[in-house]
Amino acid sequence: MTIASNSPAAEKAVIDKIAWLHIVDGRVLMARSKGKDVYYLPGGKPEAGESDSETLARELDEELGIKIAPASIRYFGVFEAEAHGKDADVLVRMTCYSSDFRGTIEAASEIAETAWLGYADRDRVSAVNRLIFDCLHDKGLLND
């Protein structure tokens, strides 16, 4: 498992999250939760005993009202950075996947809005998402 990180994990609390990468025409779908000032990849924390694919399916249904196709889930990578809005000794570890889906993407639950962001929007996302933006841009998947 490869981890892109901007902070050493030694002696830090880690929040594990599962995230969905959905890229169309060089832009990635991002979500902003109610009361938050930055965008995140859609997804969330696993519940007890839940697999990554189960977490992804549940979170995307709750947040965006879509159903993913489990057989189409593709692993992308793991990224770590200081957790936005938390103490400096808290990291977020985001495991990213892409997948096909059915339904219409609509902000639901705690999501205030969705947006299609490019690399030029890097300053509008959390630290861990900036690492992901850098990776996507380096691979030619995210436009400026």
User: Residues 55-78: pLDDT tens digits?
Assistant: 999 999 999 999 999 999 999 999
Q: How confident is the model at residue 1 (pLDDT cuts 50, 70, 90)?
A: very low
Q: Which residues contact 71 (CB under 8 A, 6 or more apart)?
A: none
- pLDDT tens for 23-61 read 999 999 999 999 989 999 999 999 999 999 999 999 999
- CA angle at 91 for the pair 115 and 119, rounded to the nearest 5°: 30
The per-residue pLDDT for 12 is 77
**Does 17 map to a domain?**
yes
**Does 144 map to a domain?**
no
Q: For strand 3-5 and strand 74-82, is the pairing parallel, antiparallel, or unpaired?
A: parallel
**Does 54 map to a domain?**
yes
**Does 11 map to a domain?**
yes
Q: What is the CATH number of the domain that holds 71?
A: 3.90.79.10
How many structural domains does the chain have? 1
Q: Residue 32's domain spans which residues?
A: 3-138
